[in-house]
Structure 1
Amino acid sequence: MPMMLFGREPQVRLLQSAADEAAAGRGSATLVEGESGIGKSALLDTVAAYCDRLGMRVLRAAGEQLEQDLPFAVAGACLDVLTTGGEPGRARVAALLRGEGADRQPGAAGHDFVVTEAMLDLVDEWCADGPVAVIVDDVQWADPQSIVVLHRLCRGIGQYPLLVVISAAPEPRGEAMGALVRSMVAKGAQRMTLSPLAQQAAAELVEAAVGAPAGPQLARLVAAVGGHPLYLAELVAGLVRDGALRISGGRAETDLDTPPAASLQAMIMSRLGPLPAPTKAVLHKAAALGGPVDLPLLAAVLDLPVLELADACAAATGAGLLVETEAGLQFRHDLIRQGLAVQTPSPVRDALHLRAAQVLMDRGADVEQIAEHLAQADHAEHGQWLMDVAPQLTVRAPALAVTLLRAAAADAADEATATSLHIALIRALLWAGQTDEAEQILHDQLAAYQSSAVRTQLLELRMDGYFRQGRLQQAAAAGEDAARLAPVHPGRLFGFAAVCRLLLGEFGEGDRLAGEALRSGLASGDAVAQAYGHNTLAVLRFAQNRVQEALDLNADAMRALDHTDGGLIVDPLVVRAMCLFAQDHPAELDQVLDAAMRRNHDTGGFYLTTAQLLRANVLFLRGRWDDALAEIRTSLDSPDPLCQAPALHGLAAMVAMHRGQTRTLDAELATLATSTPLETRFTAPLRWAHSLAAETDSGPGTALDILYPLWEQPPTFSPRCIGYRLCADLARFAHAAGDTARLQVLVDTTAELLTGQPIASLEGTVAFCRGLRHDDPSQLLAAAASFARAEWPLYEGYAREYAAVVLAGDGRLKPARDELASAVALYTGLDAARDIDRARARARQAGIRQGVRGPRGRPKHGWAALSDTEYKVAMAVAEGRSNPDIAAQMFLSPRTVQSHVSSILAKLGLRSRVEIAVGAATAEHREAMAGRRAPDGEPAR
């Protein structure tokens, strides 16, 4: 057993057991905590070796203090993405880390999301091939982006053959690291704290090191060290080195009364004593440079032959200061590097880093590697190189770019250089999300420079910055100001401003600016301006319920977009999906939504959450509520620049209300729900859910008052051409409250809408409103037939429920019972317990006797409880397919598939994907599937 593992047998067994479980298909995560030198790295080495013996793919990395500002440094090293080995997934991640495609993204957050998703997909693919172990040491030094990757890996880890073991120093911790620890613990991760060794374990360690048990005096020295493994090892090594240890009478003894050094670091540094002065000098300079010891780089920096350095490193290795690892030559412990580095004077450290940066420039090294060294110097250098690489460095290491550009701009030799550096700094700050500082510098620069070319650049940057902060009024004004300076492409700026006005609901201004963009684009042949103009006008026509005109303009926008290089704040695919949604074109809608989601997912686009929200709404209407909830869970993890989370929460709350899972909304969501619709974007679903809660708590009149404003004055992004989805509930509330006036308005307004939008779901809505207004069963049954054609089962259930009540009132009890049974069956398929209870209560009041019990509720557990989508996912999992593979086949995102797998495991009472495969072969599964299949072999539901 390695010396550092004495007394750690329980921890070793726990981690080996976790590895065995992961190899069997049930993953887990463990956080190992402890002070420096307590044995964390040795424990991770042991578990890595054990995983390797089990045949697991072992992914290993460690955090480096000097790489904290380098995005995905730890995650990239762990996945070894630079060694692609022909793997497309690795090659894609490597390309993303080089910044490829980042020019199409709105900022670092979008790019980070794309890289994170690509890394998760890669691990997912590996897990489909066999068990994987992710082992990361010194996570306290990890960059925030890598911490997010680790956080996402640990989510739902139990369903994968995946072991995650990370080690970290104890508090204090940064915000990202603290959040990771809290998340891991909340999700069931094992938390393992390494304390100093017990007295017996410390004695065994010393005995193993010297070959004999300790005598009384040595035992007292050992006790004084306090059970710290590294300190104990160094104590013994120092005593041996100094000739202060003897073996007598079968015991190891010493004459020293106190440890030869007062601290662990001093004890470690004592290893330097016997080394020649030139070797010590090399070690000091290598430590000052940080990270692994790169012999060729160190030789170039010190202007020494590599062979001479190799001899010095060999001597240091013999003294136990350096070690050979898979990653190359490294200091044996970071305490050694730190102790040597602090002894190097600051001016010397600066000179070393600047020289290293120059050597790396001459080599053509990665810009972020060069920037790491430049950032360690106390003064700015290489300003021209920095200006040349600023766009690339901003994408690959925005925090480093900000640090270097800020220093270089402050020390610029002339005004022109200072201006260029300030513009690059503003871009880097905006990319990194540091908008306050960017805005201040912009303000200062605009006041200082009157050149139209410079002012145009600055105004475009200010426009971009305001947009990223959601300050759309200011963004639109900045865009118009920049356009009026007659730049090369004024149409693009007018188009940008038009989008901002549109998002603000200022349709008149948006229309005017979109027209300006289109005229300019057509005159100059600028496809970007044309795409802005056509797409914005398409959204405006959609908001005016002129859906066909919107589709025609959208087609023009898509043609123009084919001739652009991306990077726009428009997405014609999403607009097309909205139009198809309004026209009841389900097949084409699904294809367009899938394309929109994939493009936004792969490019970090603005409209990923928009597309996901639209798909969740479609799934809700089609009665695929479990699928809608899976989409919502995925969407809440996506970037949300347009702040659409309230709509997602509201849609989930609506499902919960119908299923009787809650009577009231969360207080914070309820506050959002009752905000003025015209002042608060994307809260209509929350308000809708709030009205459903009010129907039970306060009565239909209150529910009507809450919901009706959304129809009376439709929100910007829910015009009546799609907002008519509200009308079935509005009509129910108005009918129950006896509000014939508003019920008649619903009849008239939906009928008017139908003349320009003759689709089945709207036909059903008009007939339903008329049927309730006049208590006409024929209209209600016509509504049911239309909703059935549209495949909107909830609303078909409404129509049949109310038809049953009216028929019973006319004394037609047999058809009333039939319609009630059909309504309850539809609600049962949705698991809509609230609607079942309401329908049965109203039927009893109307004198309808069902005679026999209606259909049983949908099972909550077992194979029969799975939705059709969940069943298909389960079968794909049973075939051993990865989430990305399943996602591509089923037109879902990998994260949505993961959400479905979590739901499947919960319903089946299983713990892993392996158990799903085993369960698919059981008699219970075959029996459940026989019940859910229709005679033609299609799903019965």
Structure 2
Amino acid sequence: MIGTLVGRTAEMAALGDVAGVAAATGRPAVGLVIGAAGLGKSRLLREIGDTVEADLRISLVGYEPEQSVPLAAARPLLSAVQRDRDELEGGPEPSWLEPVRLFEATHQAIRGAGRVLLTLDDLQWMDGTSVALCHYLLRAAEHESGTLTMMAAGRPTPTVADIAASFARRITDPTRFVQLELDPLEQAAGMELVRLLLPGVDPERAAELWAIAGGSPFWIATMARSGLDSIRGSTAARLRQLDPDAALVLALLAVSARPSSDRDLATQLDWAPDRLASAAGSLRAAGLISGGPLARQVAHDLIRAAVVRDIPDELRPQLHRHVAASLEAQATEDVSLLWTALEHRRAAGDDPLALAARIARSPGRRWLGADGLRDLSAIADGADRLDPAAIELDRGIAEIAADLGDHGTALDHFARASERHPERAAQAHMALGAARAAHALGLITETRAYLDRARRVSDVPWVVIEAMAVEAEILLWSEHRTTDGLSLGRAAAEVAREAVADGDVTPAERTRLVHAYLGALEAAFDGALQTDDLTELDRIADEMIEIAPTAGTEAYLRALHNGGVATRHLGRFRDAARLYGEAWAGARKHALPILAVESGTGALSALLRLGQVEKARALAAEVAALYDRLGRPAIHQVRPMRPIREVTLSSGDWRVAVAELEQDLLDESDPHYRLSTYLLLAVWLSRIDRVAMADEVERNLAGGQRDAAAAGCPRCAAEFGLRAAEASARIGRSEVGSGVPPAWRVTATARPLEHAYLRWIAGLEGGSSDAALADLAETLTELTALGLRLEAVWLRMDLARAMEPRDGAAAIEGYRTASRDAGAMGALTQQRLADQELRRLGARTWRRHGPAAKGIGTGPSGTPNADVSVLSERELEIAGAVAAGHSNPEIAARLFLSRRTVEHHVSTILRKLDLRNRTELAAIDALRAMETRPQSLGD
């Protein structure tokens, strides 16, 4: 290899610049080099990699034969971030995990590695899953300000163009993204390269070689080494000079198209180590291969293409078989190696059935995706249906399809395998799989037919229990017979309890029974939730938590999450925060990102109601970042952005949160999930300004009523009716209790939260009467007992408002207490609203040198009197908003002040700081720093 990189000074500088920005800012950066074969892209990547300071360096390379093999290119990355098997449930290798788990586990592993350099070579051949993993890591680093520098190179193909465009969309800062089109070397650089390779060469000869090579560094070096004047001739000449052993090793490496060790090559060829080492040595001396005994490979793709083109037809299948056999022996259960072996088996013309069945049973089969699933299906369709391997392949395809959500394919292959499998228990298992797939497709008649088949072929307990659980789900979700569904779920759980208590079952049977037991409890849990049977919901949740540990970590964490759901509905928010929090922490530790989003969402919502606003905000930021990394997938029964927006309503810019919630309504297609957003907007806007926001409240209530009818969920409709009654009462509509079921009009002991809200609504309707004041005071006691400190702030403001006509001093004290409590929690919006009421009553609301003024120094030198410590807390708040570019009307709306008050404060601020205008005010660094806290989360 040449010691000096010639003719690429500008490219090195451009790539070095983005790497330098990444190092200086702690933000991710991407350098992308695109150019034809032979222009020195790989060499440029190596050179820039040597100049970038990094704590962790990982190099990924795409190989042409492996471009359809999941995670083939990412193997070095997965090896670098290998974690202890106890940390990641599901197997010792990260590649065994389902895709989204592996992506998140990889991110978490490199997150603490410091400065990470990731180089990606031959992008045009990199498999899609590896590219998706790199995108995930880049997206995560962008959200979390991680120092990830990515240097990539590829040929000008449509695939590379798509990857480049996606990188550019992710990194929009031009100082952290550069895309270079690599051109051939100019004549002067090309001649310099020739002189380095052939010292003393005649200038005319150097110019001639540069011209023949077309400026390609690779071909210049090849011709200089061979002494010939032909591009093809120079390579062909080197190949003709090889002895038979060296030629065979080179052909084997070309067919493999991936690095191979001397030991592996010797095994494939059945050679002695010395014979292999001799052949490899001659190839290395001829410049045809690179690497050492642990990783030999063809020196360049252009050489490999020439070698493959000239391999005799009778030798080619034998070489593919050698490679396939080696990979099969190495792979154990590594699906990417097995899939590469399958490609070689097909290239050799061998029957792929046995290997396809092995792949379909491998733990990493989820990685095959839709394309792999189609390939396996084609192999199964062409096989002898009675071949045991074909039956196992059908079963594996069905299970992969079910994992991927391709319920049509799952139904076809489960049904086919169920009919032909020789074991009755396996027939029942696959019939149950077909039933679940049919249910997912809405084919209720077919679902029941497959359930009947499962029961007919086997009466073992776990089959009976699973069939009952699926039947219960049909009743609950498809036929909306909630009472019947709950009864059947309970019955399935009772059968499971008796079966698990039987001491004669084997460990394998017990494991299957426990999973069936949990499935039955899930059905009963859904039924209790739909029928609003909170006592049953609480009991089932406890039972899940008790038995789930024997079913594995994921099952236990899911049970904790369900416990959070139950305690939240029971109004036990402290317990809900604890259970959700444990599930969140465990899901993060064990790389279960979907469950982490679900549980994190529940935890932040509970923390918010408990008045732990700053904790809720911090958790919301983590959940939002994780949800964004996942690409914001649809998650059953959870819409994370709504509670995240709710945190912003209290702790950020409430106007931004309202706008985001309104956009969420437009983006959401399911009326069930729109319903809660309409309700949140209606209640919040009625609390912020019952007069000015009355029309908006009416509009959101009307939208919610439409969606409540469309959703067809009795419990959600009842909850909407209760909270809508509060919003209606605030804007003067007498609809107290409208839509609230009679069962909710019970004692505080049975339904404490609903009881408190009903009493609160009665107090709002009563004005300043003795009864209203008593209702509001008693509600405050109930909310405090439940730990709902944030709701208690709103209640204090309502109580103070009701007191105003009777005792102005008591009203002022009530507002002041609400302001103080809200401020201590970090609930800025509620604090500002309470302060607004205090100002309306003529009470003082600001404190000079309050918390906001502490630690703020002076602005840049030259700014007149930039000592902002002379400002009051309110003045600091307004000065910071001005420095951030907000107009007076925007500041007034955000801080609940009149425009005239804002104008007065701005004038006072300019006078105190001896400034002439808002531009000079915005130049003070200390004020701009005050507005660095984001006013929204997740966007």
Tell me if the contact between 1:828 and 1:858 (Cα under 8 Å) persists in the aligned partners: no
Residue among 768, 772, 776 paired with 2:764: 772
CA 1:518 to 1:292, structure 2 compared with 1: closer, same or farther past 3 Å? same
Tell me if the contact between 2:266 and 2:273 (Cα under 8 Å) persists in the aligned partners: yes
Amino acid at match of 1:551: D
Residue among 716, 730, 742 paired with 2:736: 742
State the 1:46 CA deviation.
Answer: 1.9
Higher mean C-alpha deviation, range 5-14 or range 397-406: 397-406
Q: Which residue of 1 aligns with 2:485?
A: 510
Taking the TM superposition and a 5 Å limit, the aligned residue runs for 1:512-531 are: 512-525=487-500, 526-531=513-518
CA 1:503 to 1:484, structure 2 compared with 1: closer, same or farther past 3 Å? same
Tell me if the contact between 1:268 and 1:336 (Cα under 8 Å) persists in the aligned partners: yes
Residue among 487, 495, 511 paired with 2:469: 495
Tell me if the contact between 1:663 and 1:693 (Cα under 8 Å) persists in the aligned partners: no
SS of 1:316's equivalent in the other structure is helix
Separation of aligned partners in 2, 1:179 and 1:435: 33
Amino acid at match of 1:594: G
Tell me if the contact between 2:748 and 2:756 (Cα under 8 Å) persists in the aligned partners: no
Q: Which residue of 1 aligns with 2:45?
A: 44
Amino acid at match of 1:46: E
Tell me if the contact between 2:730 and 2:764 (Cα under 8 Å) persists in the aligned partners: no
Q: Which residue of 2 aligns with 1:372?
A: 340
Q: Which residue of 2 aligns with 1:915?
A: none
Q: Which residue of 1 aligns with 2:504?
A: none
Separation of aligned partners in 1, 2:14 and 2:38: 21
Q: Which residue of 1 aligns with 2:210?
A: 222
CA 1:410 to 1:166, structure 2 compared with 1: closer, same or farther past 3 Å? same
SS of 2:7's equivalent in the other structure is coil
Taking the TM superposition and a 5 Å limit, the aligned residue runs for 1:732-811 are: 732-742=726-736, 751-752=745-746, 754-758=748-752, 761-762=753-754, 764-775=756-767, 776-808=772-804, 810-811=805-806
1:703 aligns with 2:690: no
Tell me if the contact between 2:262 and 2:295 (Cα under 8 Å) persists in the aligned partners: no
Taking the TM superposition and a 5 Å limit, the aligned residue runs for 1:478-877 are: 480-487=451-458, 488=460, 489-499=463-473, 501-502=475-476, 506-525=481-500, 526-564=513-551, 571-601=558-588, 602=590, 604=592, 607-623=595-611, 624=613, 625-627=616-618, 629-630=620-621, 631-638=623-630, 643-644=635-636, 647-656=639-648, 659-661=654-656, 664-665=659-660, 669-671=664-666, 680-691=671-682, 696=693, 698-707=695-704, 716=713, 723=719, 727=722, 730-742=724-736, 751-752=745-746, 754-758=748-752, 761-762=753-754, 764-775=756-767, 776-808=772-804, 810-825=805-820, 848-853=841-846
Separation of aligned partners in 2, 1:440 and 1:413: 14
Separation of aligned partners in 1, 2:310 and 2:89: 39
Q: Which residue of 2 aligns with 1:76?
A: 75
Separation of aligned partners in 2, 1:156 and 1:484: 51
CA 1:50 to 1:427, structure 2 compared with 1: closer, same or farther past 3 Å? same
Tell me if the contact between 2:61 and 2:73 (Cα under 8 Å) persists in the aligned partners: yes
Q: Which residue of 1 aligns with 2:180?
A: 193
Separation of aligned partners in 2, 1:575 and 1:121: 26
Unaligned residue ranges in structure 2 (runs of 5+): 501-512, 687-692, 858-924, 931-939
Tell me if the contact between 2:549 and 2:556 (Cα under 8 Å) persists in the aligned partners: no
Residue-pair matches, total = 818
Q: Which residue of 2 aligns with 1:146?
A: 130
Q: Which residue of 2 aligns with 1:156?
A: 141
Higher mean C-alpha deviation, range 409-418 or range 741-750: 741-750
SS of 1:741's equivalent in the other structure is coil
1:462 aligns with 2:434: yes
1:275 aligns with 2:242: yes
Q: Which residue of 2 aligns with 1:395?
A: 365
State the 1:644 CA deviation.
Answer: 4.5
Deviations 1:872-909 (A, max 9, x none): xxxxxxxxxxxxxxxxxxxxxxxxxxxxxxxxxxxxxx
Q: Which residue of 1 aligns with 2:324?
A: 357
Tell me if the contact between 1:22 and 1:162 (Cα under 8 Å) persists in the aligned partners: yes
Tell me if the contact between 2:12 and 2:44 (Cα under 8 Å) persists in the aligned partners: yes
Tell me if the contact between 1:375 and 1:404 (Cα under 8 Å) persists in the aligned partners: no
Deviations 1:813-858 (A, max 9, x none): 22222323344455556776766776677788xx633355589999
CA 1:367 to 1:449, structure 2 compared with 1: closer, same or farther past 3 Å? closer
Calculate percent identity across the aligned residue pairs.
16
State the 1:81 CA deviation.
Answer: 4.4
CA 1:224 to 1:668, structure 2 compared with 1: closer, same or farther past 3 Å? farther
Separation of aligned partners in 1, 2:592 and 2:453: 26
Separation of aligned partners in 1, 2:437 and 2:179: 44
Q: Which residue of 1 aligns with 2:93?
A: 97
State the 1:321 CA deviation.
Answer: 0.8
Tell me if the contact between 2:100 and 2:593 (Cα under 8 Å) persists in the aligned partners: no
CA 1:340 to 1:626, structure 2 compared with 1: closer, same or farther past 3 Å? same
State the 1:402 CA deviation.
Answer: 6.4
SS of 2:119's equivalent in the other structure is strand
Separation of aligned partners in 2, 1:72 and 1:557: 36
Higher mean C-alpha deviation, range 684-693 or range 142-151: 684-693
Separation of aligned partners in 1, 2:521 and 2:528: 10
1:207 aligns with 2:195: yes
State the 1:660 CA deviation.
Answer: 1.7
Separation of aligned partners in 1, 2:132 and 2:854: 33
State the 1:579 CA deviation.
Answer: 1.9
SS of 2:296's equivalent in the other structure is strand
Higher mean C-alpha deviation, range 765-774 or range 409-418: 409-418
Separation of aligned partners in 2, 1:16 and 1:752: 70
Deviations 1:152-211 (A, max 9, x none): 332335744543323333331179846752454336642231421344333332333333
State the 1:492 CA deviation.
Answer: 1.9
Tell me if the contact between 1:37 and 1:228 (Cα under 8 Å) persists in the aligned partners: yes
Separation of aligned partners in 1, 2:681 and 2:150: 41
CA 1:587 to 1:620, structure 2 compared with 1: closer, same or farther past 3 Å? closer
SS of 2:577's equivalent in the other structure is helix
State the 1:574 CA deviation.
Answer: 1.9
State the 1:541 CA deviation.
Answer: 2.6
Taking the TM superposition and a 5 Å limit, the aligned residue runs for 1:120-131 are: 120-127=107-114, 131=115
Higher mean C-alpha deviation, range 587-596 or range 15-24: 15-24
CA 1:562 to 1:323, structure 2 compared with 1: closer, same or farther past 3 Å? closer
Tell me if the contact between 1:646 and 1:683 (Cα under 8 Å) persists in the aligned partners: no
Separation of aligned partners in 1, 2:208 and 2:685: 74
Tell me if the contact between 1:514 and 1:534 (Cα under 8 Å) persists in the aligned partners: yes
CA 1:714 to 1:546, structure 2 compared with 1: closer, same or farther past 3 Å? farther
Separation of aligned partners in 2, 1:559 and 1:231: 69
Separation of aligned partners in 1, 2:357 and 2:738: 67
Tell me if the contact between 2:22 and 2:28 (Cα under 8 Å) persists in the aligned partners: yes
Deviations 1:664-722 (A, max 9, x none): 4577632356x6xxx7443333223453698638343333333457889997596589x
Separation of aligned partners in 2, 1:861 and 1:182: 41
Deviations 1:337-377 (A, max 9, x none): 23322333566433322243335556785554354223232
State the 1:99 CA deviation.
Answer: 6.4
Amino acid at match of 1:395: R
Separation of aligned partners in 2, 1:169 and 1:538: 55
Deviations 1:635-663 (A, max 9, x none): 45459886359722333344455612255
Tell me if the contact between 2:816 and 2:835 (Cα under 8 Å) persists in the aligned partners: no
TM-score by length of 2: 0.75
Separation of aligned partners in 1, 2:780 and 2:790: 10
Amino acid at match of 2:379: A
State the 1:94 CA deviation.
Answer: 11
Tell me if the contact between 2:28 and 2:145 (Cα under 8 Å) persists in the aligned partners: no
Tell me if the contact between 1:354 and 1:374 (Cα under 8 Å) persists in the aligned partners: no
Deviations 1:478-532 (A, max 9, x none): 7634543352322123224434654555523422431342243244334333333
SS of 1:115's equivalent in the other structure is helix
Tell me if the contact between 1:784 and 1:797 (Cα under 8 Å) persists in the aligned partners: no
